[in-house]
Amino acid sequence: MNSENFDYIIIGGGSAGAVLAHRLTASGEHNVCLLEAGPEDKTPMIKIPGAFSYFMFSKKYNWNYDAKVDPNIRHGEPMFVPRGKTLGGSSATNAMLYVRGQKEDYDHWESLGNEGWSFDHMLPYFKQAETNERGGDDFHGDSGPLYVSDRPNLYPISDVFIKGAQEAGYPLNNDFNGATQEGVGYYQCTIKDGQRCGVSLGYLTPARARPNLTVLTEALVSRVVTQNQQATAVEFSHQGQQKRFSINKEVLLCGGSINSPQVLLLSGIGDKDELSAHNIDCVKHLPGVGKNLREHVDACILVNSKKRDGFTSSIGGILGMIPDTFNYLLNKKGKLANSILEAGGFLKTQPDLATPDVQLHMVPLLFDDNGRDLKLMRDHGYSCHVCVLRPESTGSVTLASNNPSDHPVIDFNFFADAKDQKVLVDGLKLVRKIMATPAFEEHRGEEFYPGSDVVSDQALFEKAKGRLGTVYHPVGTCKMGHDELAVVDSQLKVHGIGRLRVIDASIMPTLVSGNTNAPTIAIAEKAADMILNQA
Ligand SMILES: Cc1cc2nc3c(=O)[nH]c(=O)nc-3n(C[C@H](O)[C@H](O)[C@H](O)COP(=O)(O)OP(=O)(O)OC[C@H]3O[C@@H](n4cnc5c(N)ncnc54)[C@H](O)[C@@H]3O)c2cc1C
């Protein structure tokens, strides 16, 4: 077996892994190896912000998971779970919205006994990661690797939405990451000079010039090797060979919320009964591995447009993108230089709530099934997607087999807690209220889905399940904490196993109230600090 030795081995070159690769190699003191299952991020499609949907069809850059079928959801079709599989991970394929969540999310983590994770502790890491083109201030950084920009609003329905929401009584907010999150507005995006600024560009590109960083792509890690309850090495397949690299210091598992629990289980760290069912020797009985899966469950309202000025996948719609294609190639401007998600908001479904409980994503097209329903998209229309910001329902990631190449079983277990159903339905009603305002008058065609005849809460819920989706934010499967389902402690060290940390979205004990890329990057920034200061 081919073997080498490093101070740190990072498993997974995604949002968290890339940050660690950059920070841990900066001083030149540590010898670091990054193992990424996906290929190099060479395709130009990653750089083009408007090419978001391309990845929904990619076999090469996407893990293409399907969730366990629930006969009550999407009429029993499997729910698609895309995850980035390349350098940059999901930050290479995401929609680039820059959102941190609410101060209260992090204060809640701290209140669960996770010392050092309150918002006041996290804010310096958000700022350290960020260069906001508006400049630095109390909330924003101006010299970090992640470039955050305002985008021009190119689809009229985005402005209509903002106007309509204000007519419906909701406040305008021009910075979702400032003093308060509540309101409607335009999203800032991780886009620089018309190109995606994922962690590969921001963090890995400068780090790869350093001699103390080794990056291997198409390296699928099969397990972390332990001896006497300490991680000692990592086994993986690379170019048809089985390899084992050993560590002097630590293994840092950054495979994301689906794959990190899979790797732990394959390494014998997890629920002993699940391990024995797959003939894996139990190294450490940690029943929480893969449990506590939380995701932003999402439903939509689709409306036909009289104005016909959004995006369609019809021949006319595709031909209409030709000028934008030239504009992009020549100037890096136009619709291809933007995320298609321009406007949205964070609103309260009940006025007496302390903070928003739903997020809206306004889409200038008929968008369902992750943009894979091209037939639906042929017609002119617009969609508003609404998600439950802090779902109570928890699901799981479990092994399908002990073969590292087999997809794990993802069970979201949506609506196990009835509170999520109520928030979702109230959110849909709130969207209808916005869409009924005078601002939408010239655009509003027929409500295509759920349909204006679907009125009662129960009927709305039943119909919403037919096109149910996610916002691609699985978290919590290796949660930080101290209870019986906790997997890592507040230094992100795996309970009961030395020299092994999990650092990615999976450590979040609860979901943050917003998109998860910036929070994952901030988690990794904090973890790098802890590692370098040997917490
Ligand atoms: C389609 C999509 C759209 C999204 N849109 C947004 C958005 O607009 N804004 C936002 O804030 N968030 C968004 N997100 C979510 C955000 O991108 C993720 O939460 C974040 O990237 C998660 O970071 P991570 O480090 O936990 O995992 P990832 O970034 O997914 O990284 C995990 C890495 O580990 C690698 N890996 C996994 N298993 C192994 C193994 N066994 N061996 C070796 N390597 C392995 C993977 O290939 C991957 O590169 C989106 C996500 C998706 C998928």
Q: Give the integer Cα–Cα distance in Å for 283 and 267.
A: 8
Phi-psi region of 114 (alpha: psi -120 to 50; beta: other; left: phi over 0): beta
- Per the annotation, the verdict on 285 as an active-site residue is no
Rounded Cα distance, 398 and 264, in Å? 11
Atom of ligand 1 nearest to the CA of 85: 47
Provide φ and ψ at 297, rounded to 5°. -70, 140
**Ligand 1 atom nearest to 82, measured from its CA:** 53
Question: Which of 65, 89, 95, 91 has its CA nearest to residue 367?
Answer: 95
List the pLDDT tens digit at each of the 535 positions of the chain: 677 999 999 999 999 999 999 999 999 999 999 999 999 999 999 999 999 999 999 999 999 999 999 999 999 999 999 999 999 999 999 999 999 999 999 999 999 999 999 999 999 999 999 999 999 999 999 999 999 999 998 999 999 999 999 999 999 999 999 999 999 999 999 999 999 999 999 999 999 999 999 999 999 999 999 999 999 999 999 988 999 999 999 999 999 999 999 999 999 999 999 999 999 999 999 999 999 999 999 999 999 999 989 999 999 999 999 999 999 999 999 999 999 999 999 999 999 999 999 999 999 999 999 999 999 999 999 999 999 999 999 999 999 999 999 999 999 999 999 999 999 999 999 999 999 999 999 999 999 999 999 999 999 999 999 999 999 999 999 999 999 999 999 999 999 999 999 999 999 999 999 999 999 999 999 999 999 998 5
Pocket of ligand 1 (CB under 6 A): 11-17, 35-38, 82-85, 89-91, 93-97, 99, 219-221, 254-257, 259, 263, 472-473, 504-505, 515-518, 520
Ligand 1 midpoint to CA 83 (Å): 6
Q: How many Cβ atoms sit within 10 Å of the Cβ of residue 78?
A: 14
Distance CA 259, CA 168 (A): 42
Give how far Cα 160 sits from Cα of 75, 164, 217, 309, 364, Å: 32, 6, 44, 12, 11
User: In the chain, what is the straight-line distance between the N-terminal and C-terminal CA atoms, in Å?
Assistant: 33
DSSP 22: H
Question: How far does Cα 357 stand from its chain's mean position?
Answer: 18
Element at 207 (helix H, strand E): helix 205-208
Distance 67 CA to ligand 1 centre (A): 16
Nearest atom, ligand 1, residue 341 CA: 8
* Residue 75 falls in which region: left (phi positive, over 0), alpha (psi -120 to 50) or beta: left
Q: Please give the Cα distance from 355 to 146 (Å, whole number).
A: 27
**Which tokens is 520 given?**
């994952």
Residue bearing the CA closest to ligand 1, atom 2: 94
